Amino acid sequence: MRKWMKPAAAALLAGSLGLAASQAVLADTNAGYSRSTAYSYANPAKAAQPRWTADLGRPQTDLIPDRVTVAGDRVVASKAGAVVALNLQTGKTLWTFKTGSKGSVALLAEGDSVYFASESGQIVKLNAKTGKKAWSYKLPTPGLPRLAADAGSLYAIAGKLIALDAASGKVKWTNSSVAAYGELRLQGDLILMPTFESGAITVETEYAIDRKTGKSLWKLSGSHRYLGSVKGRFYYLDTWPRNDTTEYVASIDVVDPATGKIVETKSYLPVDPNKDPLIQAPRQVVLDGEELYIQDADGLIHRLKPGDAGTASKGQVLSDSGDWIAGPYAGRLFFQNDDGLGVTARKIFDGTTVYYEGMDNPVSRLDLIGSGLYVAQTDGKVIAANAKTGKAQFRFQTSSRAFGPFKVAGKTLLVQSEEKLYAFNVPASLLTK
């Protein structure tokens, strides 16, 4: 029989022996937590080494998640106080341009030119081959502008919209009537600018601007979120607040680009009459060609065709216990597992599951390019896998938790970690979709 000693006696005994064997102390009930995750196993993805690495330093702001662009055979990157051009194949520094800004800058490549914008409101055009400055322009007020370029013009959003001549840097026009908050889209002769407006309620709306003159052409009524374009018409999700008379899970308004008028409304998935319509708003709505993917409040994903509008059809129903994070892409919808450890996909054709090798921690970033599925995990691991088969191609361990967008230039994969830029060879099997 085991004999117990009082604490004082035990302490005296330990002291007299000169040896201490501390008793383990456990957390009290309700004072601990375990996720009960699976044990680690050998990772089937082969470890790879980058072809080259460039040190970018830690980002100075979270306003610039993407610090890398590609111009021909050059990788142009932003680092503290400078823009640098690197040889795509070797990573060798080709030129450096001092920005005059302590932090990182936003970059945009267009043809043989690279534009950068700083938080001070400075916009500079550089020759991508030589790094020589072509011109600079200072915005009237400081702030990091968002940039877009096309057809000889550079557009900058910084509270208002400014169009600059790409060749000279001179102002073509300014539109101060719209306070833009989102990324502008260039659609034919239009610039579409999403924004939020507050009144009795806050609504999502969009303005159309004439690209040549900068004049506001129309404002979309109600509250809407852009989904895409089908046969020359714009499709918007109606995001007006729901009420107890709402009849459908999702309604799509079709807009004439010339006038901004709603010419048709397509409603999908009648609400469950036994539930409050207020709690039946869709989680996600994605337009893919003419097909809609609507994830309802219960997490079911409905694949719907144009003819399903206004009917009781639920379409093809796909489900997974995980979170829908990407797709449709290559005939698949992609999910992060419900335990946060790993990625799976559902084939749209038959609903069967594709399992992806080598992924064993929460996803920090995922990008689908060609046949490649590129994942960065919160533990710093980067995995390249075949999006169709799930087979892992390689893995690499970094020290980062946050990552910029993956990019493929030719046969090179560019990986942006918090401090470094890595270049890897892309397996041939991942290059084509």
pLDDT tens digits for 398-410? 999 999 999 999 9
3-state helix, strand, coil in the chain (%, to 5): 5, 45, 50
Domains annotated for the chain, with CATH where assigned, are 222-319 (2.40.10.480), 335-433 (2.40.10.360)
pLDDT at position 1: 45
Tokens in use for 431?
A: 């290059």
More confident residue, 23 or 54: 54
Q: How far apart are CA 305 and CA 349, in angstroms?
A: 14
Tens of pLDDT along 97-140? 999 887 778 999 999 999 999 988 899 999 999 999 999 999 88
Tens of pLDDT along 129-168? 999 999 999 988 888 888 999 989 999 988 789 999 999 9
DSSP assignment letter at 7: H
Chain centroid offset of residue 40 CA: 28
Average pLDDT of the segment spanning 347-364: 95
More confident residue, 70 or 38: 70
Q: How far apart are CA 388 and CA 433, in angstroms?
A: 9
**Is-cis flag, bond preceding 328, omega within 30?**
yes
Entry pTM: 0.89
% of the chain surpassing 90 pLDDT: 75
Give which of 125, 108, 93, 416 is closest to 85, Cα–Cα. 93
Average pLDDT, the chain: 91
Q: How far apart are CA 387 and CA 334, in angstroms?
A: 9
Q: How far apart are CA 22 and CA 12, in angstroms?
A: 13
pLDDT at position 111: 93
* Phi, psi for residue 415 in degrees, rounded to 5: -120, 120
Q: 186 pairs with which residues across the strands?
A: 191
With a cut of 80, say whether residue 367 has pLDDT above it: yes
With a cut of 80, say whether residue 93 has pLDDT above it: yes
Give which of 32, 46, 35, 41 is closest to 337, Cα–Cα. 35
Average pLDDT of the segment spanning 219-242: 95
